[in-house]
A = this chain, B = another copy of it.
Amino acid sequence: MKRPTIREVASHAGVSKATVSLVLRDSSQIPPVTKARIRESMTAIGYVYNRRAAEMRSLRSRTLGLIVANVRNPYFAELTMAVEERAHESGLTLILGCSADDVGRQHELLRAMAEQRVDGVLILPASQTRPADLTKTLGAAGVPHVLIARSVPGYKCDYVGADNVAAGKLLGEHLRERGAKRVAFIGGVETSVPRKDRIHGLLDGLAPGVTALAADLSSERDAAFEPAEAVDAALAGGLDAIVAYNDMYAFGIMSALRARGLQPGPDVMIASFDNVPEAARQFPGLTSADGFAEQVGVRATELLLYPPKAADDISGRQVLFEPVLRVRGSTDPALVAGG
């Protein structure tokens, strides 16, 4: 099935291809009457603009790539929607790739996006990503890009995310105030930068008081994370609070606690990071440090669309969101009643 081109439109309307092209872009050079006539020809023969051909000639793609590990985590889902909306507003088409936190898969996606000549890429790097992984693909192809939510040590470029160190500290201080004595950290991939940052901040926030973090309780788990196992190990060590790497881990941990007859909150405090909407819907509600999913997505897209002036810092702009703690029943019994 051959689709009509501007050539067919031109001959149907009795004008040249160039004139049709100008009408397509609604040029003021063409008188309204002519425009109307040519547009009638378009609908008459069922013409559909071929944007890819146009973009090839003008050497732009009006396309934006987004790579996330996974869209099942509500944090990334929210972020993805924010990016899609912002891209759509700017007339850009969004290409989505899910890396499954796998560097090989991520590499294929980056390559495909470079070959598609995307105008830019937003990437939540897989946790094992090294600078060379990004240099080889994005760098070599000269594709503008912004890292989101996870930075890559030793790789300088624009970055947007929550301030994980500050958020961890806030959480640590909160638990100390709530009287926690022994706190375990559970979840996250060992190599993850946000994980290190969160633990770092947490220790800082817990330290000033008498509260001691039982560092040996800090369970490190990979993708095959089994909450029951981690919770058993933590409980065996004796503890009164658990900090999860993020809300998704926390949900699994809460369920594991209940299965052991323990009430999250009254029996063991639990708190985490991201503050996905589901955190508020748990029973009891889950205390969580906001991850600013939507804001991160929007700001990252804007950074990509509006590159820095020559005067700006070339070594990479950093946008960090100040932490906000959403305190709920999982660390404050007074808030368990619901509502």
Q: Mark A279-292, 1 if CB is under 8 A from B, else 0.
A: 01111000000000
A231 nearest CB across to chain B (Å): 12
When each residue 154-196 of chain A gets 1 if its CB lies under 8 Å from chain B and 0 otherwise, what string results? 0000000000000000000000000000000000000000000
Provide the main secondary structure of the chain A interface: helix
CA distance A338 to B255 in the complex (A): 7
Q: Which residues of B contact A51 (CB under 8 A)?
A: 112, 115-117
Q: Are B88 and A108 in contact (CB under 8 A)?
A: yes
- Give chain B nearest CB distance to A328 CB in angstroms: 12
Number of this chain's copies in the complex: 2
Contact of A283 among B112, B113, B114, B255 (CB under 8 A): B255
Q: Which of B77, B141, B281 contacts A48 (CB 8 A)?
A: B141
A127 within 8 A of B: no
Complex contact A49–B88 (CB within 8 A): no
Is A25 interfacial (CB 8 A cutoff)? Answer: no
Q: Is A31 an interface residue (CB 8 A)?
A: no
Known: A259-B338, A259-B339. A251 touches B281 (CB 8 A): yes
Are A140 and B258 in contact, CB atoms less than 8 angstroms apart? Answer: no
State whether the Cβ of A236 lies closer than 8 Å to any Cβ in chain B: no
| CB contact between A93 and one of B46, B74, B112 (< 8 Å): that residue | B112
Residues of chain B within 8 A of A1, CB atoms compared: 142
Residues of B within 8 A of A53 (CB): 56
Question: Across the interface, which residues of B come within 8 angstroms of A109, CB to CB?
Answer: 88
Q: How large is the interface on A (under 10, 10 to 19, 20 to 34, 35 or more residues)?
A: 35 or more
Q: Considering the chains assembled together, what is the distance between the CA atoms of A306 and B319 in angstroms?
A: 45
Contact B95 A95, beta carbon cutoff 8 Å: yes
Partner of A97, one of B61, B78, B88: B88
Query: Inside 8 A of A56's CB, which chain B residues have their CB?
Result: 52-53, 56
A70 contacts the other chain (CB 8 A): yes
Chain B residues contacting A72 (CB-CB under 8 Å) are 74, 77-78, 81, 277
Closest to A72 in B: B77
Partner of A251, one of B48, B49, B95, B278: B278
Given contacts A1-B142, A48-B114, A81-B98, 16 further A-B pairs with CB under 8 A are: A52-B56, A52-B116, A71-B77, A80-B96, A84-B97, A94-B95, A94-B96, A94-B97, A96-B96, A251-B278, A255-B280, A255-B281, A258-B338, A259-B338, A259-B339, A282-B283
> Which chain A residues have a beta carbon within 8 Å of chain B's beta carbons?
1, 3, 46, 48-53, 55-56, 61, 70-72, 74, 77-78, 80-81, 84-85, 88, 93-98, 105, 108-109, 112-117, 140-142, 251-252, 254-255, 258-259, 277-278, 280-283, 337-339
Identify the 3 closest CB pairs spanning chains A and B, nearest first.
A259-B338, A51-B115, A96-B96
